[in-house]
Structure 1
Amino acid sequence: MKNKKMTYILLAGVVVVWGLIFLRIYSSLFSDSKEITSSKPVIRGKQDFFKKDTFVLVAKYRDPFLGGIHISSNSVGLKEKVNKIKSKPVVVKPKEPEIQIDWTVINYVGLIKNRGSNKNVSLMNIKGKEYLMEEGVVEDGVKLIKNCKDSVKVVFCGKEKFIKRN
């Protein structure tokens, strides 16, 4: 009996809350006043929003590496150092065009495990031909580095990549 009373009390509370929500929505949608009121008056005119702030940094602190007091240099000295750094010529080496490798010609079909010798042999499809490959074997320019259950690590055109099973 105690649970029923609590259910009815909670149900009444939910109905009251949703009733208030719908009442506010209804009153805001169908109210006659279309005027927006503001609690703060709007002041128009020339106002100085940005005031120039002047300050000077005093960086007199102990240098944690040298142990002495750090003396800050003036701004003229800093500008000269920056100009010296910028005036050095920068030598840019032209980039060699990166070789685009078509990895779609290599497919990993599956793994065969020989129970007698405990060796793993991968079934690979390279350029439309199927090969049985062990680790370290090179076939059609593709070297098999490592066998895994779901992928193999191969080297092709000097680049290494893991290829997942189809």
Structure 2
Amino acid sequence: MKNKAMTYVLLAAVIGLWGYILMQVFNSLSSDSTIPTTGKRTFGEQEMNLSFYKTKNTGALLLNYSDPMLRNQTHEELTEPLVVESNTAIDTYVAPQPYEPVPQIDVQYLGYIENLVDKRPTAIIQIEGKQYMMNNGEHQSGMKLVSMTKEYIKIKIDNMIKTIYKNEN
């Protein structure tokens, strides 16, 4: 009987101890605390004696040396003054033609499939809202399919090659 009573007392002490430990852990993790926490300073500020450092006497820079890149070259001085004709640039100015951007074609690369027999890839492309199945070198709506991979296709429109990446939507 004595052992049973001691077991219950020790069990209550262990449960109480673990309850206290868990309460401390949860209280430290919660953000409800209004008390700011600060770290303790474990070191004191010390005055530093820097009198043993001495400054170097570097002197002044000498800037009257010759340029090492132009050492073997001679320069010619202008003997006559430079004459600038006035208004020549303003009189001969021609305004550039306004730039009209090339209209863009809405092209999206949706994916590709392979032919089961000859393993030839066929791209699925959406041009201006319509879907087409194209192979390398084929033309459609003023566009030529130059090359294709799983990630992107290269197309040629108006002698310009553009790379279009696959839509992931």
Report the TM-score when normalising by structure 2: 0.49
| Greater gyration radius | 2
Task: Report which of the two has the higher share of helix.
Answer: 1
Report the TM-score when normalising by structure 1: 0.50
